[in-house]
Amino acid sequence: MENCIFCRIISGEIPSLKVYEDAYCIAALDINPGSPGHTLIIPRVHRKDLLEMDEALAGKLMMTAREIGGREMERLGADGFNIVQNNGIAAGQTIPHFHIHVIPRYHGDGKIVAWEPTSPDIETLREFREKLC
Ligand code: AMP
Ligand code: ZN
C-alpha cells in the first residue's frame, strides 16, 4: 500500500535491519527499541490490524515471533521476552500495518509492559462477561 512505511520496508524502498524473512513475513529490528534486540514481525501483505488477519497468516507470524523470541534468549542472553501487538490508535498502534513486537527482557532491566490493575466488583465483571461471551 502506497505511503505505508512497512509496505515500503517490505518492498525494499526503505532500508531495514532484517534478521529473518520467509514467504509470509520479515522480522526486522525496531528503529526505537524498547530494549536491546527489540524486533518487529511484519507480514508481507498489507493488513491493518489483527481483525484483518486470517488464521493461517496470524499463525505463521506467531510462530515466527516464537522463533525470534527463542533467538533473543539464546543469542542475546535475554531472560524472557514480551509479545506486544497493538490494534488501533487508542491501543498505541502508530503504524497501521499489522506487526508483532518481540521485546527481549533482561533481569532487572526496569522495563514495563503493563497496565494499572483495577478492582471492579463481581457484578461489573459479570456485566462484561455477558457482553463478551
Ligand atoms: P506500534 O506503536 O505498535 O504501531 O509500533 C510501531 C513501531 O515501529 C515502533 O516501535 C517504532 O519504533 C517502529 N518503527 C517505526 N518506523 C520504523 C522503521 N523505519 N524501521 C523499524 N522500526 C520502525
Ligand atoms: Zn502496509
pLDDT at site 115: 87
H-assigned helices in 85-121: none
Instruction: Give the pLDDT band of residue 112 (cuts 50, 70, 90).
Output: confident
Query: Could you identify the atom of ligand 1 that is nearest to the CA of residue 93?
Result: 4
- Do 84 and 113 form a contact (C-beta atoms < 8 A)? yes
The residue type at 45: V
H-assigned helices in the chain: 5-11, 55-76, 122-132
**Does the domain made of 5-132 have the CATH classification 3.30.428.10?**
yes
Residues framing ligand 1 (Cβ under 6 A): 5, 14, 16, 28, 30-32, 40, 86, 92-95
User: Residue 99: which residues within 8 A CB-CB, separation 6 or more?
Assistant: 6, 40, 41, 42, 43, 85
Polymer length in residues for the chain: 133
Q: What is the pTM of this model?
A: 0.96
pLDDT at site 113: 84
Q: For residue 47, give the C-alpha cell.
A: 493488513
Domains of the chain by residue range:
5-132
H-assigned helices in 21-121: 55-76
Percent of the chain with pLDDT over 70: 100
Distance between CA atoms of residues 3 and 59, nearest Å: 27
- Taking only the tens place, the pLDDT of each residue in 14-72 is 999 999 999 999 999 999 999 999 999 999 999 999 999 999 999 999 999 999 999 99
CA distances, 92 to each of 58, 66, 77, 113 (Å)? 20, 22, 28, 12
CA distances, 112 to each of 16, 66, 81, 84, 107 (Å)? 26, 20, 12, 12, 12
Active site residues: 99
